[in-house]
Amino acid sequence: MILQTHDLWRTFGGVAAVAGVNFNLEEGELRCLIGANGAGKSTFFKMLTGQIKPTSGRITLFGEDATNLPSYAIARKGVGVKTQVPNLFNGLSVRENLFLAAQRVFDKQAAANAADAMLETIRMKEQAYTLAGELAHGHRQWVELGMILVNEPKLVLLDEPAAGMTAGEVERTIALLNELRGQRTFIIVEHDMHFIRRIAEKVTVFHRGRVLVEDTMEAVVRNTEVRDAYLGQHGKEAR
Ligand SMILES: Nc1ncnc2c1ncn2[C@@H]1O[C@H](COP(=O)(O)OP(=O)(O)OP(=O)(O)O)[C@@H](O)[C@H]1O
């Protein structure tokens, strides 16, 4: 088991954003977290990344307690996080961005090799020397993903990786994640049901701070409780 949460809670004033979540993630899984606006996904995600401290409960990461670790310590344990806040150096090339990220864990030569290998993985060899600031939105997202993957994290947490992408860019992101499936362990928070349907194995549905259902995408789409709680808004896309 890579990650577990035990009766995890986070309250804001009187509001329980996350209310007693028990969550288990095995190595090699690609897990999607879904739920309506305000269901508690972001708060849960931010507790896993160390951005928000739990009110109570525990987080176990790679078999060790990680409940109150700050973000940098979680990163150091081998967790790569992609939030929605851009993390690129616009004045540097794609390759330089990847190289700098790789240098956090590798020496110079190994970082250069890792950056070149990552250019292949994210299919951006031709844009290696393009400035990050000149890239289209989808391309920027892939470079950011590359900057996380280049450090070979044991767990990758992605917050809405398909947000703002064109249909073509979403397709390429799906292909990339399908390629990486099994090689890395992922948790992906996402609203785009088309995207989730194409990548999901097991899906965890949040509702009012709790886990409503955890099952395959097919079972989740058929579940009447989920339809009432969430898919009512997105059902057409999901079906
Ligand atoms: N910093 C905060 N202060 C007060 N209330 C908060 C805070 N963060 C979240 N909440 C509340 O906690 C609940 C869960 O919010 P959260 O953002 O985790 O949901 P979500 O499922 O990620 O929603 P979305 O899909 O809109 O991002 C909501 O009622 C929200 O208003």
Residue bearing the CA closest to ligand 1, atom 30: 38
* 41 Cβ below 6 A of ligand 1: yes
Give me 232's structure tokens: 């009512």
**Residue 90 C-alpha to ligand 1 middle, in angstroms?**
30
Q: Would you say the CB of residue 15 lies under 6 angstroms from ligand 1?
A: yes
204 CB within 6 A, ligand 1: no
CA torsion, ordered 59, 105, 88, 115, to nearest 10 deg: -130
CA 18 / ligand 1 centre spacing (Å): 9
Ligand 1 centre and the CA of 104: distance in Å?
A: 32
Kindly report, residue by residue over 229-238, the tens digit of the pLDDT: 776 555 444 4
Atom of ligand 1 nearest to the CA of 10: 12
Q: Which of 91, 71, 95 is nearest to 82 (CA)?
A: 71
- The pLDDT value recorded for residue 107 is 95
This complex has an ipTM of 0.95
pTM of the model: 0.91
pLDDT of residue 214 exceeding 70: yes
Q: Is 151 a pocket residue for ligand 1 (Cβ < 6 Å)? A: no
**Which sequence spans correspond to the domains of the chain?**
86-151
66 lines ligand 1 (CB under 6 A): no
Residue count of the chain: 239
The highest-confidence range among 3-12, 77-86, 225-234, by mean pLDDT, is: 3-12
Map tokens 């099994």 to a residue: 182
Separation CA 23–CA 41 (nearest Å): 12
pLDDT tens, position by position, 145-162: 999 999 999 999 999 998
- Scanning 55-187, the segments in alpha helix (DSSP H) are 71-76, 94-102, 108-121, 137-149, 167-180
Which residue puts its alpha carbon closest to atom 5 of ligand 1? 12
